[in-house]
């Protein structure tokens, strides 16, 4: 069974220093290799505000994945992942820990303290997992920071 998703493609412009980023649909073979992609970028569209918001969420999710770049290999175009866009500096570890802490506070404020959490055990159980996952993100970033400084 093949699949598809939307991905960010980096495209070279007419000038050597000109670059743009666009969202395209990318189609995969059963083994996960890229089969094809749309020539034109896709646009954000929704028939309701909720649909538009969900579409934007998908676009933001595409930005978390490695950027793809079209290159020519053996005379045919292929997409190649490029992880080199975002260099990591020492401050990123602390920044990530801080953001995980803030996210945990926001999630508690808007969900953990909601009256349904007290009344619905299934929601409470899921909330507890979400809160634990955010705490684990914080701890893992701290461990990576510690290991980096221990070397």
**Whole-number pLDDT of residue 70:** 87
Per-residue pLDDT of 68-120, as tens digits, reads 998 888 988 889 987 665 688 889 999 999 999 999 999 999 999 999 999 99
The candidate with the shortest Cα–Cα distance to 20, out of 58, 70, 55, 64, is 70
Q: In this model, does residue 151 exceed pLDDT 80?
A: no
**Whole-number pLDDT of residue 10:** 92
**Whole-number pLDDT of residue 14:** 81
**Whole-number pLDDT of residue 150:** 87
Q: In this model, does residue 1 exceed pLDDT 70?
A: no
- Residue 24 in 3-state DSSP? strand
Place of tokens 């034109």: 40
DSSP letter at 12 equals: E
**Whole-number pLDDT of residue 22:** 95
Q: Is 151 exposed, middle or buried (0-12, 13-18, 19+ CB in 10 A)?
A: exposed
């Amino acid at each position: 069974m093949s699949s598809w998703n939307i991905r960010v493609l980096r495209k070279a412009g007419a000038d050597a220093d000109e670059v743009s980023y666009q969202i395209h649909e990318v189609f995969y073979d059963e083994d996960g290799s890229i089969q094809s992609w749309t020539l034109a970028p896709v646009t954000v569209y929704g028939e309701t505000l909720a649909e538009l918001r969900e579409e934007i969420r998908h676009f933001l999710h595409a930005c978390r994945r490695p950027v793809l770049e079209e290159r020519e290999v053996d005379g045919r175009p292929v997409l190649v992942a490029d992880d080199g866009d975002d260099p990591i500096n020492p401050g990123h570890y602390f920044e990530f820990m801080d953001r995980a802490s803030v996210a945990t506070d926001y999630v508690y404020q808007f969900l953990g303290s909601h009256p349904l959490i007290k009344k619905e055990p299934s929601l409470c159980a899921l909330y507890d997992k979400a809160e634990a996952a955010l705490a684990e993100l914080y701890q893992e970033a701290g461990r990576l920071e510690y290991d980096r400084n221990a070397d």
